[in-house]
Structure 1
Amino acid sequence: MKNTLRVINSVRYKLNDEFRLRFHRRYVRYQGNKFDLSHPRSIRPLKLALLRGTYEGREIELIKRHVNRGDKVLELGSCAGVTSLLIADIVGVENHLVFEPDSRNYEFSLYHFKLNSKNVRIKKSLLLSGNDIPESFEFYSGDNPSASSVLLQDHPSRREIVGTDQFERVIAFENSKVLVLDIGRRGI
């Protein structure tokens, strides 16, 4: 009996997802900010997670628990800008700096920052640690916005050459006390 119920619930969930995708509004509010589901970078899993209210749920929970008003935050990776907008809402745009090396995600985030009339500080650059960092670095922009990397991946991506900044110099200049890393995992 339990297996039958599980299958039925699974089918119901899939039908609800199809309904959500087919009849969704162009814009959805999530974590107090507006996101455009029709943007070309809004792939199906991202749309569903925003519509369900589950997008980057663990990251959002950690940010709400550990980031406080007035903290100086350095964020690495922004994708659609969801966590970036939440952090800016908590600490203020003047206390938050985002680094996004993927040119498509950089534009995707900027689009959502402008959509929400928030001047989040974002830099299209890759942070590297050490004294002798190169001026530019090879980066792979994944077709899935959550799957970009400095390493060549086994999924569709395009190669970019991006500028670099020294991690230690940025930390010192910004006086950052909180580091938010939303990198290193594939998927939504």
Structure 2
Amino acid sequence: MSSDPTVQPVPASVEERVDAADTTLHNPKWAVVSLGSNLGNRLETLQGAIDALADTPGLRVKAVSPVYETEPWGVEPGSQPNYLNAVVLVKTTLPPSSLLERAHAIEEAFVRVRDERWGPRTIDVDIVSYQDVVSNDPLLTLPHPRAHERAFVLVPWHDVDPAAELPGRGPVEELLSHVGREGVTPRGDVELRLPE
């Protein structure tokens, strides 16, 4: 057996590879996904969730925010470990319901437990907005009903898209000016990778 197998050259168009979310399916939509983790290896889990999103057919991860550390929301201070949070912008041909199913599948893959509201979790994958859709569907309210009051969503979202608007609520920059950045600490010592 030859130890020098014929190696096929890498096509020049690797960067232009066909991607269902970009070219082959009609009318892809922009969506904003918020990620949070306060159990286990938080950074590794966030990166794993981003990679899982990127592996989803019909979805392309287009931007990943810097990482922030925040105290748990909706519970007594000090009752849980702090969160690492990030926001991901995706372009997708999946309808909102399928994107939600994928978000839940990722949470299950990282063994998220839903024993208590606002309880600690290995990973939280929330759809913040989907294009300009406004919906009161109880299974998936769009945009996320509390996104406008959560600095841990607004701060990283503003980082990756300063001109962003939360459908029905207005510019993220304006919402952030009301909420403020208190308690949302930049973690410049760690970063998340944008999948290739």
TM-score normalised by L of structure 2: 0.30
The answer to which structure has the higher helix fraction is 1
Higher relative contact order (CA 8 A, sep 6+): 2
